[in-house]
Amino acid sequence: MSKFRCQQNGDSAEVWIYAEIGEGWGWGISAKDFADEINALDVSDLTVHINSPGGDVFDGVAMHTVLKRHKAAVTVTIDGLAASAASLVAMAGDNIEIAQGAFVMVHHPWTFGMGNASEFREIADQLEKIGESLVRIYAERTDNTETRVREWLDAETWMDSDEAVSNGFADALTDQPAIAASVDKRLFAHAPDRLQVAAKISKPAPAAWRLAAAERALTFMRG
């Protein structure tokens, strides 16, 4: 399946996000491409399928906003994994469903960086601001306190399907079993062992992506 697919049928449409969020990874889904596709849909019902390890937080915020602004009733279905920035996109659903055995992961935003001490302090300040915006989005959609959400983000929290529903990150379980998640566990600090059973372990992030992420951080910081 391609990294991003959109299919319309009359007054409804389905979208599949089955890749990293953002093109900084070299092969992910950019917010611009996503917005172009979604904004072109003149439908009243939109279903968004997610199986993604996340990626660029700025693209994730933009994709979340695009879905929230669309006139359609949005149903998000977490087919395998909605981690990091992908979990943020999932929060745009008017209704969020999760497959049995699927996972949701939330954590604070992070980045690579280069520069002197002053530049690193500025990067840290920006990350804190971004993190607080994520806290507000998660708290509002899940009906949890911001304090509780911060605790989940502090811990890099992985939730299975039952926990996601219990914690408000999904509204209901689907009858379908989860598909294989595409994730490299080495990119995360606390990925659960049980994820390995459901995951298709990908190759490590290439050096080119690491450099692109660092350059993006500096470009944002220097504005």
- Which residues are catalytic, by number? 84, 107
Sign of the torsion angle spanned by Cα atoms 25, 47, 107, 173: negative
The residues, ordered by sequence, that sit 6+ positions from 159 with a Cβ below 8 Å of its Cβ are 103, 104, 105, 167, 169
Helices (H), the chain: 31-39, 57-69, 85-90, 117-142, 146-154, 161-166, 193-198, 207-222
The structure tokens listed for 58 are 């700025």
Torsion of CA 70, 99, 137, 41, to 10 degrees: -10
